[in-house]
Amino acid sequence: DTAVSQTPKYLVTQMGNDKSIKCEQNLGHDTMYWYKQDSKKFLKIMFSYNNKELIINETVPNRFSPKSPDKAHLNLHINSLELGDSAVYFCASSQGGFNQPQHFGDGTRLSIL
Amino acid sequence: DQQVKQNSPSLSVQEGRISILNCDYTNSMFDYFLWYKKYPAEGPTFLISISSIKDKNEDGRFTVFLNKSAKHLSLHIVPSQPGDSAVYFCAATRAGGTSYGKLTFGQGTILTVHP
């Protein structure tokens, strides 16, 4: 059973398009995250939701909008895609608490043509 | 400004020997540290963690050491095995405040263990 699953695994699209990445966790965790791994390989937090409430919102362009329909799902919608959005996006979840390890999905590789 | 740094992009070690991966941080508010391991085309997986109230934490072949005065931590793997070949990420967070479990990652070190 996959604990944190992201779809799609690969996403190739053109500049200006709108796309969504879905994330689901079956661990019963109450907190979910989106990270971006850029070309320099740094993993950077973008958003975090706790029980469907936004609790972390880093300096991310407004074109990125997370949506959490329930605590097992956290989707990422991106409007007007730009070349600089090309990256690997990772979803993660944890059971609250700073000392609870986060469980990551396998990532979505987004390539903008 | 990168608050967590792993200055060695790669490390190559012989099977059976010790692997030492290093990590430095600049934010003195960090008080909880984690190591993650990542295989290609997979997400990072949690390996081991340490609180700032300790200077060492051990789990099987993996030991993490924390030197708060130097703002430095290291991961020791003994003995190293070929299956340990992966990218290792150091991460840091704050226990309280408004961190909400926000992790700040280093850029990773590629470990290759040769048979």
Contact between chains at B100 and A55 (C-beta distance less than 8 A): yes
Question: Is the backbone peptide bond immediately before A8 cis, with ω within 30 degrees of 0?
Answer: yes
pLDDT at B99: 62
Reported as a single tens digit per residue, the pLDDT across A27-62 is 999 999 999 998 888 899 999 988 888 888 887 889
Task: Report which of B107, B28, B11 is spatially closest to residue B72, judged by C-alpha positions.
Answer: B28
Q: Regarding the domain with residue range A4-112, which homologous superfamily does it belong to in the CATH classification?
A: Immunoglobulins (2.60.40.10)
B61/B76 Cα distance (integer angstroms): 8
Per the structure, how many domains does chain B have?
Answer: 1
Residue with tokens 């409430």: A53
Reported as a single tens digit per residue, the pLDDT across B23-62 is 999 999 999 999 999 999 999 999 999 999 999 999 999 9
Structure tokens at B14: 């012989």
Contact between chains at B101 and A105 (C-beta distance less than 8 A): no
The residues in B 65-104 lying below 8 A from A, measured between CB atoms, are: 87, 89, 93-96, 99-104
When scoring B29, B62, B100 by the number of chain A Cβ atoms within 10 A, the one with the most, hence best to mutate, is B100
Reported as a single tens digit per residue, the pLDDT across A79-112 is 999 999 999 999 999 987 677 889 999 999 999 9
Contact between chains at A98 and B49 (C-beta distance less than 8 A): no
Strands (E), chain B: 4-5, 10-14, 19-25, 32-38, 45-51, 56-59, 62-67, 72-77, 86-93, 104-105, 109-114
Spell out which residues of chain B touch residue A43, defining contact as CB-CB under 8 Å.
44, 89, 103, 105
The residues in B 6-25 lying below 8 A from A, measured between CB atoms, are: none
b or e along A41-76 (b: 16 or more beta carbons within 10 Å of the residue's beta carbon)? bbbbbbbbbbeeeebbeeebeeebebebeebbbbbb
Contact between chains at B43 and A104 (C-beta distance less than 8 A): yes
Contact in structure between B34 and B73 (CB atoms under 8 Å): no
> Residue A22: is its pLDDT beyond 90?
yes
Q: Which domain holds residue B21?
A: 4-114
Minimum-distance CB partner of B46 among A31, A48, A101: A101
Spell out which residues of chain B touch residue A96, defining contact as CB-CB under 8 Å.
101
What residues form DSSP beta bridges with A32?
A49, A93
Spell out which residues of chain B touch residue A94, defining contact as CB-CB under 8 Å.
101
Reported as a single tens digit per residue, the pLDDT across B72-102 is 999 999 999 999 999 999 999 987 666 667 8
Q: Sketch the domain layout of chain A as residue ranges.
A: 4-112
- A107 CB within 8 Å of a chain B CB: yes
Contact between chains at B32 and A98 (C-beta distance less than 8 A): yes
CATH number at residue B80: 2.60.40.10
